[in-house]
Structure 1
């Protein structure tokens, strides 16, 4: 149990015990007799047990972390699940600045990454079709440099500015492919909190322009292979939340932001802390 959960448990348990005691005293004051004559010890034990159970119930982490906002009218949800099963929402897919796509042997793109799953589940493993769609989406975007083949033996060579968003798919379900990390010549992706914040800001702009205010689902970008080492997964979730709420204060970007975590990751995060953070925004 986390420190916040312990505080909630203790506070709620004492509050419940106080209510029980007040009711018992009120009964005795009105009727001038004990509610359970001769069983004061048993009543106290039952009251204590009930209070503890109530506190535990109140301190139990929720099955999802949610909050609805009135201005602008939108909803944020942090849920366990499968990103690609969010059929009612546009999806966010993280890429590097060269938009590499090949997961063969995990040399360039890790086979277990969201990006590799995107290729497999949304493009049926058709690498050529995905690359063609990316070329079309990026046709109007300027490159910032081109890597020499001698410096990068595998993969693509054109570098795009960090924060570039390639919008794939159809209007009913777009895929926002955002470049939030730099791919080195040694095929190692790296990012930072500053780069992630900038990339998220560009992402919200693209979502506003192309998303039609439909729900948006995304993973915890930068939590693993992008090596944002200064932040743990929970800190990255907080950064995403803060970035989205800040951007939404200016203009409505989407009716719902849904951050989807793998069930095992969702079980590890401190949901009470995230709920408290979300309520503070």
Structure 2
């Protein structure tokens, strides 16, 4: 969960945070000042020193405003026609028991041995170690079965790609892995270049999200789905930061959910280390505007 210092940074360091703090302070000051006037109306003989009383009310109002306006770790909105819920919350994706979305690249590489292909701390790396106990061969076999009906778009040689898998699938491909309790939607959101750096354009991500929602619609049985901020492990996707990526995901999901239905609930899970990158106050405003 987000630390108090990170919450206060969002409250005092953003335009939405300061605006909300100002509005909340004005309301609290008005309530306290009105209460003081009522007290004096009923007990006119009560001695109140003007300036100390004013400063006390101002201080209490400010303290109350900070408590009431501080950013939360969770924002959510319920939609109707059709009914579905969208939530953004800080936490651990793999603590959830619902269907999960996991980002991959077009080669569906999985090995975290030297972290040249996949970083162990990434969502993809955690998927290998926390869900499949680090068994690369098992995960590769499951992916191979899930991709059996997908036509590759190319094949590298060991001279062009020094390590990892050589077969390339279309960006946007979604491999569905199922166990007895839930499904894992392994979405290829970008291309793993031969220098082992990942690239993805805004257009590719938008198109890939559309394919992801359609796959979830077909295989998710309308159950709850949770996902990370897809592509956020990249430093940039066409100069898009975490907040922009998150808004794109929400906008794309809501548009598809309204058009055809996707699932009854989508939760985008923000890792605690990325909390400071997301203005949860602004995000709440954005979510209500959809």
One fold, TM greater than 0.5?
A: yes
TM value normalised by structure 2: 0.88
**Which residue of the partner structure matches residue 7 of structure 1?**
19
Q: Distance in 1 between matches of 2:142 and 2:132?
A: 10
What do the CA deviations read for 1:30-79 (whole angstroms, capped 9, x no partner)? Answer: 75x64844444343233222221232223200121222222321222222
Is the CA contact (8 Å cut-off) linking 1:220 and 1:260 kept in structure 2?
A: yes
Q: Secondary structure at the match of 1:104?
A: coil
**Which residue of the partner structure matches residue 214 of structure 1?**
223
Q: Distance in 2 between matches of 1:153 and 1:99?
A: 15
Which residues of structure 2 form unaligned runs of 5+?
A: 1-11
Q: Mean alpha-carbon deviation: is it higher for 136-145 or for 35-44? A: 35-44
Alignment of 1:109-148 (within 5 A): 109-148=118-157
Is 1:18 paired with 2:30? Answer: yes
Alignment of 1:183-202 (within 5 A): 183-202=192-211
Q: Mean alpha-carbon deviation: is it higher for 107-116 or for 243-252? A: 107-116
Q: Secondary structure at the match of 2:226?
A: strand
* Distance change (3 Å), C-alpha of 1:187 and 1:15: same
* Distance change (3 Å), C-alpha of 1:182 and 1:226: farther
Q: Secondary structure at the match of 1:92?
A: strand
**Which residue of the partner structure matches residue 84 of structure 2?**
74
* Residue number among 63, 67, 80 corresponding to 2:73 in the alignment: 63
Q: Secondary structure at the match of 1:241?
A: helix
Is the CA contact (8 Å cut-off) linking 2:173 and 2:208 kept in structure 1?
A: yes
Is 1:175 paired with 2:187? Answer: no
Cα distance, 1:226 vs. partner? Answer: 7.1
* Distance change (3 Å), C-alpha of 1:98 and 1:226: farther
Q: Distance in 2 between matches of 1:96 and 1:160?
A: 9
Q: Distance in 2 between matches of 1:19 and 1:82?
A: 39
Which residues of structure 1 form unaligned runs of 5+?
A: none
Q: Mean alpha-carbon deviation: is it higher for 52-61 or for 204-213? A: 52-61
Q: Distance in 2 between matches of 1:116 and 1:24?
A: 59
Q: Secondary structure at the match of 1:276?
A: helix
Cα distance, 1:136 vs. partner? Answer: 0.9
Q: Distance in 2 between matches of 1:208 and 1:111?
A: 30
Matched positions, count? 278
What do the CA deviations read for 1:1-56 (whole angstroms, capped 9, x no partner)? Answer: 1221111111221233233444555666x75x648444443432332222212322
RMSD: 2.1
**Which residue of the partner structure matches residue 276 of structure 1?**
285
